[in-house]
Structure 1
Amino acid sequence: MLWFVDSDDPIADLQFGVRNDPDAAARLAQTVVGDSVLIARGETTLDRAATTDDEVSVGVFGRIAVVVGAPVATDFPSQLPDSVIGARPAKVVHLVVTDLQRSFGAFASWENGTLRRSFASNPVDISENIGLPYVFEREFWAGERPLRYSEGAMPDPQALPFHPTEFADHASTLWVGLRLTPPFGPDVISPEAIPVSRFAIRPPGHQPTADDLREPRRPEPQTAPPQDSEPEAGGDDDVSAPTKVARWFGFGRR
């Protein structure tokens, strides 16, 4: 999710309740994808926003806007194009990326177009760590928000002292008040409270087809997989690295 924030208190604005401006959302989506052709997929909410390679969802709420999907999905936040970061004038731009299948989390923040902080990692490998850490990061690096392993799981000796997905989720909660994974307390905003417009992305010059214009099936809400499953017995020789990471932290089975 890429958030464009011109509000002095985005959390209060979003908690008050927001309405999406579909026309403004369409314009912002087009700016983000450049020459690609967009096919409108209707209105939905953030928890149902598709994150496939050929879709983008956008919400515009006055002084705040959000872009979700392929154009902002990255393992290296600093490499997002300037055309995307500057797609909408804003004092602050926040990026939050979570991928539970890979146990991956990333966050970044730009102030007046300049990157201030970027962090991206799975539980073992840091792919990007740029800028001075924020104050909120201290408790994670200090081990005060430790990883919780499934019973019998053998942690990697080089594992970070926190879960990157939780790290990124915490940044989202502090920056815009939005928590991405349950439980949703009374003081946080859940994704289902954020309306967005969905668009399919097609190559430049594409002419809409009957399939493009057919009413799409709404995706199921994005939910976190259970974290209390025990790892299967047996070796990991035939298991891919992302799956190993997921199993170390109880996020799934082979």
Structure 2
Amino acid sequence: MGEAEAVVRRLSPGYEVTPAAGGTLLEDCYPPEDIVFVAVMPGATVLCGRRLVAETPSELPEHLLGEAAGRRILFHSMHSVIDALTFAVCEDGRLIRSLSVSPDTGIVENVGEPFLFERPYLAGEHPVTSVFPGQAPYPLPFHPLVLGEEALRALFGFVIEGRPQPDDVDADKVHLHGFRVADPTGREQEVREAHLREVMSRMGPPRRYRMGPDGVMQEVGRDDLS
């Protein structure tokens, strides 16, 4: 616990850090706002927190690179709402591979030679075939979240969705210490809440879809869900 808290404090200058409920790597790798989960193990430190997310890994902050102290950094982030994926590998502070991609932005960053697990996806061998009615073909030759699970297994040894393999890490047994990391002035939280209210004010009513027999998503009404 003490080592984990020390890591969080070093990576969160200017923030208020207090202990919070712990969790597991399987359930808590995408924590709530202002929460960071940490596991300190022999030879490795695992950090899960939204403030650690960077759309362009080539711009990872110096204090994060410094924390690794010459060790390998493995970075992975997925966002299911926008189908976004970012992963990266740094060796001795040098970025050797990064990919950041989503259907809305396309490829934001693509540095280094693709790893073996990526190549079939980049070559178009896993196209997206299910689309919503009236939707144009998927703008990428693969689904970022599907590739993201492959990257998660290749880099970290486990998956969140999909069928586990016999030699996968049992992420549900990896305990994480939890910490609340908050702006003591409250300004960061106020800005975040104001942005959320603004986004919600522009949202229309919810729409529901179901996969049709032809693999195309079909909109359904409330009565169709019974």
Aligned to 1:108: 88
Deviation of residue 122 (structure 1)? 1.1
Structure 1, unpaired ranges of 5+: 1-21, 207-225, 234-254
Change in Cα spacing, 1:147 to 1:82, as seen in structure 2 (3 Å) is same
**Are 1:127 and 2:98 an aligned pair?**
no
Q: Which has the higher strand share?
A: 2
Q: Is the 8 A contact 1:173 1:188 kept in 2?
A: yes
Q: How many residues align?
A: 192
Matched, 1:118 2:98: yes
Looking at structure 2, the residues matched to 190 and 166 of structure 1 have their Cα atoms a distance apart, in angstroms, of: 20
User: Once the 2 structures are TM-superposed, how far is the Cα of residue 105 of structure 1 from its aligned partner?
Assistant: 0.8
Which amino acid is the alignment partner of residue 140 of structure 1? Y
Candidates 15, 25, 45, aligned match of 1:46: 25
Please state how far the C-alpha of 1:131 moved relative to its aligned partner.
2.1
Aligned counterparts, 1:1-150, within 5 A: 22-49=1-28, 51-124=31-104, 125-150=106-131
CA distance in 2, matches of 1:146, 1:175: 23
Give the % identical residues. Answer: 24
Question: 2-side partners of 1:122 and 1:132: how far apart?
Answer: 19
Deviation by residue 1:163-201 (Cα, 9 ceiling, x = unmatched): 112222212211221212232232322432321111111
Give the match for residue 144 of structure 2: 164
* In the alignment, structure 1 residue 232 sits paired with structure 2 residue 223: no
Aligned in 2, Cα 1:150/1:205: closer, same or farther, shift over 3 Å? closer
Structure 2 distance, partners of 1:103, 1:47, is 20
For 2:43, give the aligned amino acid.
R
- TM-score, scaled relative to structure 2: 0.74
For residues 90-140 of structure 1, what are the alpha-carbon distances to aligned partners after superposition, in whole Å with 9 as ceiling and x for unaligned? 531110101111111110110011111111111352221122222322111
Q: TM-score, normalised by structure 1?
A: 0.67
SS in 2 for 1:232: strand
Unaligned runs of 5+ in 2: 187-208, 221-226
Whether the aligned pair in 1 keeps the contact of 2:20 and 2:179 (CA below 8 Å) is: yes
1:32/1:71 contact within 8 Å kept: no
1:10-61 deviation line (CA, Å, top 9, x unaligned): xxxxxxxxxxxx2211111111112311111132112332533311111111
Distance change (3 Å), C-alpha of 1:100 and 1:191: farther
Q: Which residue type is aligned with residue 31 of structure 2?
A: T
